[in-house]
């Protein structure tokens, strides 16, 4: 395993995010969040795109933000980009599901090819070809979205072509976050916004402490490479205005299975021939509440970085 599997491009593409299984396992524990934070909906609400805006979701993963745009019937031009072909396939699948469920029964399918000409207007001449995921036609659903495999360090997009650029929970996968933010700023038009989602330092602190104890590691070794505080400082050094929004809640998990799935999704568990002892050690280090729930802090946040 690479020294830093969270930022090694080959590991991310071919192991950690070869399919959506690991990401989906980690996302699933938020079903137990109180109060529930629908992060894609909250972030997009804060981003406040107009109907004529172009949105680029960089590091789109399995497409939660793209699907939210589809369910909301966003009429503008949308691009999803990710380093991993496996994530793009998952995003395409989830997007098609979201748009099918959002479409009126009488709507006819849109042409998948309709996304390409609009999205290719954003691209540099040497960029890779876009693939498309068609949505259902009609005023209540997203018209189309283009998907492309791309590295945030060198996006194949023209300068200043995006109105709202999303970077959700992806900066800790980038070897040089400052360079990534400069690239996001480059592709965003004057007056546009870069929306950065990250976790706070206390996010999942109980689980991280238990995992560190079970692995015999210093808890600092399991800290995220860049947190909300670090992202805010970095964004303020690159953008004239940055507004921060915090979402603090807690997980109340009644059963150990979601925690076990979360642990098995992390880099490093493959080093153990049998992951069960590690899972059992983590669960024993977590303290259940009087009603039998595992209570774990969550702290995510959103930074709205505006350009002049």
pLDDT of residue 106: 40
pLDDT of residue 220: 84
pLDDT of residue 285: 92
Whether residue 152 contacts residue 175, with contact meaning beta carbons closer than 8 Å, is answered with no
pLDDT of residue 222: 86
Average pLDDT, the chain: 87
Residue 224 — φ and ψ, nearest 5°? Answer: -65, 150
pTM confidence score:
0.89
Which residues of the chain fall short of a pLDDT of 70? 101-121, 124-143, 268-275
Give the chain's domains with CATH numbers: 9-204+223-249+300-306 (3.40.50.150)
pLDDT of residue 152: 96
pLDDT of residue 104: 52
pLDDT of residue 267: 86
């Amino acid at each position: 395993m690479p020294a830093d599997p969270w930022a090694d491009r080959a590991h991310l593409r071919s192991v950690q995010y070869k399919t959506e299984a690991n990401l989906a396992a980690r996302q699933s524990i938020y079903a137990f969040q109180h109060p529930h934070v629908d992060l894609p909906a909250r972030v997009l609400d804060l981003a406040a795109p107009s109907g004529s805006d172009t949105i680029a979701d960089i590091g789109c993963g399995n497409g939660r933000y793209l699907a939210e745009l589809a369910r909301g019937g966003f009429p503008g031009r949308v691009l999803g980009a990710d380093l991993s072909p496996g994530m793009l396939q998952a995003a395409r699948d989830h997007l098609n599901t979201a748009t099918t469920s959002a479409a009126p029964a009488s709507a006819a399918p849109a042409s998948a090819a309709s996304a390409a000409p609009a999205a290719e207007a954003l691209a540099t001449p040497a960029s890779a070809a876009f693939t498309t995921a068609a949505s259902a036609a009609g005023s209540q659903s997203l018209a189309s979205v283009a998907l492309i495999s791309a590295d945030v360090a060198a996006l194949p997009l023209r300068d200043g072509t995006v109105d709202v650029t999303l970077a959700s929970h992806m900066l800790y996968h980038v070897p040089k976050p400052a360079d990534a933010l400069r690239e996001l700023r480059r592709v965003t038009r004057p007056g546009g916004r870069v929306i950065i989602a990250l976790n706070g330092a206390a996010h999942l602190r109980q689980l991280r402490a238990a995992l560190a104890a079970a692995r015999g590691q210093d808890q600092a070794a399991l800290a995220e490479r860049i947190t909300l505080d670090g992202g805010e400082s970095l964004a303020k050094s690159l953008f004239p205005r940055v507004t921060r929004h915090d979402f603090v809640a807690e997980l109340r998990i009644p059963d150990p299975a979601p925690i076990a799935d979360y642990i098995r999704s992390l880099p490093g568990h493959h080093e153990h021939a049998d992951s069960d002892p590690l899972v059992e050690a983590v669960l024993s280090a977590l303290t259940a509440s009087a009603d039998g729930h595992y209570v774990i802090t969550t702290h995510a946040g959103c930074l709205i970085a505006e350009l002049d």
